[in-house]
Structure 1
């Protein structure tokens, strides 16, 4: 059997940067994730409220989230043709993420809200810049989607994870656009940044947005483990496909529940069944992947050492 350290090694082998450009993007992601961790420590000692429009939660969540996105982009790049337009799309995703994380963090240190805030000229300029950066990030994601469709050089499981994961990111972007419209309307009506964005009475916009953004990382890890194990390409692709369907079903259920104005724990009967079915499918695929991960590299190294002795 493998061990957690073996799983981590397989993932690292698949995602580590292999050229100068990939290393640049990887270090950008690392810097953002580190910034999120540092601001988590600041939040612990500051004792400021975790929730609300002005909180340390935003530098933490956005730093870690964008960091994970940048690492995923490096993994995707490793499996695409080395074309300038593909690299430009990847760079657009990462560099706009860095810029947005910097603006969000700076606004928190200024003690003001980063999102929907148009109280002063500076705040309005920051919010406008964030909106523009999001559009550029989406453009970069679209470029990667096109590249994965026409120039993908990886194995089937990874292609499934990339295409479904990036589709989730684009769907999350559409949800984020609706959140922005609601937030701006509330600010126009009240002159204050809303405490929380809800769809209807209790729909969790943040949850739907977050799930869409991070399905890519979850599916990427699963695809890497499938491809590192004893499964053949067809079986690995099938297992990842089941997980992708499970993710899509769960994401759809969470999103529909949010748009219906329902709290996450109170979906309709149909969406509740869809959510459970999706989670079970993803969990089953994960168990299959973990069961078939082979410690082949470690075993080969030990075997070689034994033979040499």
Structure 2
């Protein structure tokens, strides 16, 4: 196991200044998320709601992992000076977003949809603008990966599908923002949660789209350090990507239909189950081929 973990580190460790910048941004946010998870346990306050420790904890973890994932992507792209543009937009933008979310929780105020004071409104506006910059960075990485990707074909599939899913997740996120702001206008209160229709879990659909890059990325790394022929790597990754897309599509369709994630239609339940099975088969095929003896391949 130690040998495999070492290989994973060799595959994702930052090598350039741009990558190190993203790595430290991610490390800072992950540390913040972990610290606020401890605070949440000690404080024993409600985990859900507009004002909760869940937000700095989950946002810190999510954005931190995203920055680390971007390091892995940049390792497989040609080194360019203008690479600082997406690196800074993603890394610094994410840090600003986490600072805003964390600050509001320590102030006892909602971070999202908060128009309670001019300061709260300015914070919410800043968060919205920063997310646009992060989305721009992800778009740059997507186009760059389509044009000049230097990693394996399996890794390219993982990156492109993962980033495309994040773009769709961003669209869902903007839909959530629109719903939340309309709820504030109608009630004068920050909503506890945002739903599509009666019971559609917009939050779950958004989360599933946000983290496909990490799922597929780990599989790509596993395939690269395992004893897997390139053609087999591609087949396994195509299976995993198709399965993930099916799960994401089923969850998103269920949310937009206004149905709870626990009660999808029969067709969507079948699609999600088939997709999850495909991902598990791909993961099993990857794990069984891991080879600790090949650490030199990814150094």
TM-score band, normalised by the shorter chain?
over 0.9
Separation in 1 of the partners of 2:210 and 2:274? Answer: 20
How many pairs align?
A: 297
**Which of these residues, 176, 179, 184, is aligned with residue 182 of structure 1?**
179
Instruction: State the structure with bigger RCO (CA 8 A, min sep 6), 1 or 2.
Output: 2
Q: How far apart are the structure 2 equivalents of 1:34 and 1:7?
A: 24
1:70 pairs with one of 67, 72, 78: 67
Q: State the SS of the aligned residue for 1:55.
A: coil
Are 2:21 and 2:91, in contact at CA under 8 Å, matched by a contact in 1?
A: no
**What's 1:139 paired with?**
136
Aligned residue for 2:28? 31
Mark the runs of 5 or more structure 1 residues left unpaired by the alignment.
301-309
Among 266, 271, 284, the residue aligned to 2:268: 271
Q: TM-score with structure 1 length normalisation?
A: 0.94
Q: Shift in Å at residue 294 of structure 1?
A: 1.1
Q: Distance in 2 between matches of 1:176 and 1:20?
A: 31
Alignment of 1:22 with 2:19, yes or no, is: yes
With over 3 angstroms needed to count, the CA separation of the structure-2 counterparts of 1:92 and 1:298, relative to structure 1, is: closer
Q: Give yes or no for contact 1:10–1:225 (8 Å, CA) kept in 2.
A: no
Aligned residues: CA RMSD: 1.4
Which residue number corresponds to residue 94 of structure 1? 91
Which secondary structure does the structure 2 equivalent of 1:49 belong to?
A: coil
Find the partner of 1:46 among 43, 46, 51: 43
Q: Which residue of structure 1 lines up, in the alignment, with residue 160 of structure 2?
A: 163
Cα contact 1:90–1:144 (8 A) shared by 2: no
Is there any run of 5+ residues in structure 2 with no aligned partner, and where? none
**Equivalent pair of 2:59/2:98 in contact (CA under 8 Å):** yes
Output one character per residue of 1:33-56: Cα deviation in whole Å (capped at 9) or x when no partner. 000010111111112111000000
TM-score after normalising by structure 2 = 0.97
Contact 1:86–1:143, Cα closer than 8 Å, also in 2: no
* Greater gyration radius: 1
